[in-house]
Chain A
Amino acid sequence: MKISEIVDLLDAECLTGTDMLEKEVKTACGSDMMSDVLAFAKDNAVLMTGLCNPQVIRTAEMLDTPCVIFVRSKRPTQAMIDMAEEREIVVLATNHRMFSTCGILFQAGLTGGEK
């Protein structure tokens, strides 16, 4: 799924990476615990979280995650946005809560990548 489709589906605001919205993500992982994300996220996954600290961007960096979505109206700091920009990670923010965000993307065909 293209990140631009995710923007439309979630009515999301793109905080950085507007030039990278044609990138594709294959799977998705939603959690506020970065340890779980590090343990369970698959390759090329979009990360959905309500946690809002720099370690979210760092976790995305470690996993080569192309896109982070902050749910339930969380807004990252400018320092976090700058970090993401340097690492070429798209940052989106949506007003949807985690459950709805996951549901909308799942319904549109994105899965967690489990076999």
Chain B
Amino acid sequence: MEDNLVFEYVVSREDFTRAGEASADVKKKLKALGVPSGVVRRVSIALYEGEINMVVHAYGGNITVEITSDKIIMLLKDKGPGIPDVEKAMQEGFSTASDSVRALGFGAGMGLPNMKKCSDRMDISTTIGVGTEIKMEVDL
């Protein structure tokens, strides 16, 4: 059996203009591997939304993407304030984003619901004052 491919990225909160570089790199890799375009699109959107969240809501973190024979697993771990009410955060339109985040084009309250929509499975584990871990899987 072939080994799974694993890619790791550090997401810095320092530079908003660089947010999305990890997602863009994953997208390129998936395309190069010949992954179907619909899957590439779903993974790209889900990962990019997650990466943006790590920059605008948290203090950065780490992304690990694993490609197995039958799915793509994305693990996003941030160091940040955590999510006080996950159920609310999953509602379309609900957002705790500041005006400065909205001015950057994010914080419409669509991020987490869209991440769930784009993935086949999504789990959120969050601790207030420590950070959030989101695991998403997209089947191949």
Determine if A62 and B48 form an interchain contact, defined as CB atoms under 8 angstroms apart. yes
In this complex, what residue of A is CB-closest to B20? A58
Interface size on A, residues (CB 8 A): 21
- Interface hit among B2-10, B102-110, B123-131: B102-110
Distance in Å from the Cβ of A10 to the closest Cβ of chain B?
21
Residue B44 CB within 8 A of the other chain: yes
Contact check, B27 vs A62: say whether CB atoms are below 8 A apart: yes
A89 to chain B minimum Cβ distance, whole angstroms, is: 12
| Number of B residues, CB within 8 Å of A | 26
Q: Is the interface of A mostly helix, strand, loop or mixed?
A: helix
Known: A51-B105, A55-B104, A62-B27. A38 touches B41 (CB 8 A): no
Q: Mark B34-65, 1 if CB is under 8 A from A, else 0.
A: 00010001001100110010000000000000
Determine, out of A16-24, A27-35, A95-103, A105-113, the stretch whose residues face the partner at the interface.
A27-35
Asked if B41 contacts A64 (CB within 8 A), the reply is yes
> Which residues of B approach A to under 8 Å, CB–CB?
16-17, 19-20, 23-24, 27, 37, 41, 44-45, 48-49, 52, 102, 104-111, 113-114, 117
